[in-house]
Amino acid sequence: MDGIEYYLLLGAILLIISVLAGKVAYRFGAPALLLFLGVGMLFGYDIISFDSAEATQTIGMIALCVILFSGGMDTKFTEVRPVMAPGVILATVGVVMTAFLVGGFVWLAAPYVGIMISFPMALLLAATMSSTDSASVFSILRTKKQGLRENLRPLLELESGSNDPIAYILTLLLIDIVTSGASGAPTLSLGSSIGMFFVQMIVGVMLGYGFGRGTVWVINRIGLNNPSLYSVLLLASLFLIFSFTSMAHGNGYLAVYIAGLVVGNNKLSHKRTLTTFFDSFTWLFQIIMFLTLGLLVDVQKLLDPKVLILGGLVGVFMMLVARPASVMTCLLPFRKFTFRARLYISWVGLRGAVPIIFATYPLVAHIEGAELLFNVVFLVTIMSLVIQGTTVSGMANLLGLAYEERESSFGDALQDRMKSAFTEVEVNAQMLENGSLLSDLTLPDNTLVVMVCRDGDYFVPRGNAELLEGDKLLVLSDRNEELQSQYREFGIDEVMNF
């Protein structure tokens, strides 16, 4: 089988298997993202030939934009505000500390494994995985549906959503240092690197906030006839924000996260539809991203003893030493967090797609030893997802920080099992012949008028509410057929069904 049909078939099979694997993962308490990665590795080992780091990098960039924007939309600013300061410090100082601690460890430990590595190369390896992964954190914390005390969930989500810029800049700086060689001078000095970081952060925040406000204004006022186009408009706005901010020397990832925060915390037309669309779209891109990363890795090279030993040592050091040391240091000024909370934050330093995507940058730059670096980062990511990802809930329970979130009794019923139907009709003169009060209206049993729209204003009516000709009524009924018959008796021809 040749042509596009072959790739469509393989893509469809991969997506279906990944979705089924996600269901299995949820049942056994494993992160679904780990299963997506495993499916990609399985198919990449013997079925699909894929070795394009550039394509992986592009797919990862697009996926991260969607994931960060959707994560921002789902984050309530009222929850983030109290943890803004510690979150920002963890996302900046914490990333730098982690990079230097892990880099120093790699430089000292690698020779004992039989791998000679320079200090800049060791730092580059550490920089690529110095940030926690937004896709993993958002996915695991929200899939578990477990409440965390001391405002820990918004803190972890804020950190993971905003700590990519500093890791990205560290990675670019160290690639420049490594490629410059021993004799040449790096293009970026330390001073210019620090300046670039502040420019990227400031421009990213400003443009993210400005574009976010502009997006809300446009969506609320554009008045599209087809509601489905609002999702297209918001998606286009997302990519506009990322690309424009990047071209303006700001950090596009930070900008889309900030824009998502702004959009999600303001009144928005068709917000429920947009949220549902982006939830589905986010899962699609997470699956595609992790599948692609799994396809890229060479399993035989990943299982090389030197890679296994070095990756195992780095993974253990990062989980038990580097992450706890950076968290404890960064949170010293914030006395409100208990020691148990600090331990939990230290433990949920999940690595995932972002470190692997950053590890493709040395591959694209054709740096000597980049393949070893990529395989070590990949192995550390798997360790993090297996060990930390599967114990997110267990550790919270062990430390006494978990509580059971209340689930809506009506959420599923409204979507799937409820037999009642919503209809919208406009009040005419015939409906008011027996009186203008709502209680005078003849309706079937088990039928309620739940809302009235009058001249653009909405209110929930009581029985003594006076109805006017031209009012729009939102009606809920268990007896839709009888209601439709009653509408015909009222002379109503146009009925909107939901």
Residue 449 pairs in a beta bridge with: 475
Q: Are strands 146-148 and 472-477 parallel, antiparallel or unpaired?
A: unpaired
Neighbour tally for 394: CB within 10 Å: 11
DSSP state of 75: S
Residue 477 confidence (pLDDT): 87
Q: Check residues 107 and 179 and name the one with the higher pLDDT.
A: 107
| Better-predicted residue by pLDDT, 445 or 337 | 337
* 140, pLDDT greater than 70: no
pLDDT category at 111 given cuts 50, 70, 90 is very high
DSSP codes joined into one string, 327-377: HHHHTTT-TTS-HHHHHHHHHT----HHHHHHHHHHHHTT-TTHHHHHHHH
Higher pLDDT, 177 or 240: 240
Per-residue confidence band for 182, with pLDDT thresholds at 50, 70 and 90: very low
Output the six-digit token pair for 5: 């049909």
The number of helices, as runs of H, and strands, as runs of E, in the chain is 22, 7
Confidence of residue 296 (pLDDT cuts 50, 70, 90): confident
- 3-state SS assignment for residue 135: helix
Grouping H, G, I as helix, E, B as strand and the rest as coil, residue 301 is helix
pLDDT at 189: 62
Sequence-distant (≥ 6) Cβ neighbours of residue 302 within 8 angstroms? 375, 378, 379
How far, in Å, CA of 375 to CA of 43, rounded? Answer: 17
* CA–CA gap between residue 484 and residue 492 (Å, rounded): 9
Instruction: Give which of 21, 32, 149, 129 is closest to 79, Cα–Cα.
Output: 149
The pLDDT score that the predictor gives to residue 107 is: 95
Q: Do residues 68 and 253 make contact, with C-beta atoms less than 8 angstroms apart?
A: yes
CA distance 472 to 424: 7
Instruction: Tell me the C-alpha to C-alpha distance, in Å, between residue 247 and each of 243, 250, 319, 358.
Output: 6, 7, 36, 19
| Mean pLDDT, the chain, integer | 84
pLDDT greater than 70 at residue 80: yes
Q: What is the DSSP letter of 466?
A: B
Q: Where are the beta strands (DSSP E) in 95-200?
A: 146-148
User: What does the pLDDT average to over 67-73?
Assistant: 85
Q: Specify the range with the lowest mean pLDDT, choosing from 50-64, 128-142, 297-311, 483-497.
A: 128-142
The strand pairing partners of 92, in sequence order, are none
Which of the four pLDDT bands, split at 50, 70 and 90, describes residue 341? very high
Residue 40 has pLDDT above 50, yes or no: yes
Read off φ and ψ for residue 223, nearest 5 degrees.
60, 55
Collapsed DSSP state (helix, strand, coil) of residue 472: strand
Smallest CA-to-CA distance from 275 within 241, 239, 240, 235 is with 235
Query: Which is more confidently placed, 243 or 419?
Result: 243
- Backbone phi, then psi, for 438, in 5-degree steps? -60, -35
Spatial separation of the C-alpha atoms in residues 454 and 409, rounded to whole Å: 31
Q: Which residue has the higher pLDDT, 143 or 301?
A: 301
Question: Per-residue pLDDT for 98 more than 80?
Answer: yes
- At 94, the pLDDT band (50, 70, 90 cuts) reads very high
Distance CA 443, CA 486 (A): 7
Q: Binning pLDDT at 50, 70 and 90, where does residue 323 land?
A: very high
Show the DSSP H helices in 182-270 as ranges. 190-221, 229-247, 252-264
Band of the pLDDT at 408, cuts 50, 70, 90? Answer: low
Q: Are 94 and 331 in contact (CB under 8 A)?
A: no
Euclidean distance between CA atoms 476 and 447, whole angstroms: 6
Q: What is the pTM of this model?
A: 0.77
The confidence score (pLDDT) of residue 3 equals: 66
The pair phi, psi for residue 448, each rounded to 5°, is -130, 140
Q: What is the pLDDT of residue 13?
A: 82
The pLDDT of residue 46: 58
DSSP 82: G
pLDDT digits (tens, 9 = 90+) for 52-66: 778 888 888 898 888
